[in-house]
């Protein structure tokens, strides 16, 4: 796995030996960034943005954001073993000053008041495919007011998943890559 574009293009990322995580494939990640950059439907500016990478795993999504000019990325990863790999990747790429890492459950962390001390322009949510709490995580993001008004939520799901979403969550675009379904959405405030 590597950084695809930007200042850190070509940098190789550490991956865990176990199958505990399901890293986002380079092709899917590249397509996401092409859509973020060029889609008139999505209309997003990555440069100087604040990113929340939930269920971060090895951090490939958030690190790609930093390589492409994002200001700050907060990573949330529950597994201590995977967290060590994420921290090694951050250290290798010399990005410690632009990152904040939380070893916690995404739901519990977001509900803690003012934990992040900022609002996010983009939230990338990549829970395990067996996780069926997509509607709840969007509710928690909304109820805790951590997404900017024009912010984007990107969900990585299995293409066969039949997730429910709150009525105030508007799907802007949806794409299938192999077994993955990528959903771009906004919260209607």
Length of the chain: 189
177, 25 in Cβ contact below 8 A?
Answer: yes
In angstroms, the Cα distances linking 53 to 31, 101, 126, 167, 189 are 17, 10, 8, 23, 22
Class of the domain covering 39-187: alpha beta
The continuous run of DSSP H or E covering 62 comes out as helix 60-67
pTM for the complete prediction? 0.93
Query: What gap in Å lies between CA 101 and CA 130, rounded to an integer?
Result: 24
Domain boundaries, the chain: 39-187
For residues 112-126, give the mean pLDDT: 86
For residues 4-32, give the mean pLDDT: 83
- Please list the residues that pair with 150 across neighbouring strands: none
pLDDT (tens digit per residue) in 33-75: 999 999 989 989 999 999 999 999 999 999 999 999 999 999 9
């Amino acid at each position: 796995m590597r950084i695809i574009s930007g200042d850190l293009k070509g940098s190789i990322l550490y991956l865990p030996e176990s199958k505990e995580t399901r890293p986002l494939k380079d092709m899917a990640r590249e397509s996401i960034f092409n859509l973020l950059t060029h889609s008139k439907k999505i209309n997003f500016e990555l440069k100087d943005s604040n990113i929340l990478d939930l269920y971060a795993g090895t951090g490939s999504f958030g690190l790609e954001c930093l390589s492409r000019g994002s200001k700050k990325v907060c990573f949330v990863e529950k597994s201590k073993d995977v967290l060590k790999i994420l921290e090694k990747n951050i250290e290798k790429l010399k990005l410690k000053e632009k990152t904040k890492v939380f070893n916690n459950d995404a739901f519990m962390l977001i509900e803690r008041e003012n934990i992040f001390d900022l609002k996010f322009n983009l939230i990338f949510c990549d829970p395990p495919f067996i996780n069926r709490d997509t509607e709840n995580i969007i509710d928690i993001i909304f109820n805790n007011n951590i997404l900017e008004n024009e912010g984007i939520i990107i969900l990585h799901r299995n293409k066969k998943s039949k997730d429910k979403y709150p009525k105030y969550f508007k799907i802007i675009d949806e794409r299938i890559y192999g077994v993955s379904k990528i959903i771009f959405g906004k919260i209607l405030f």
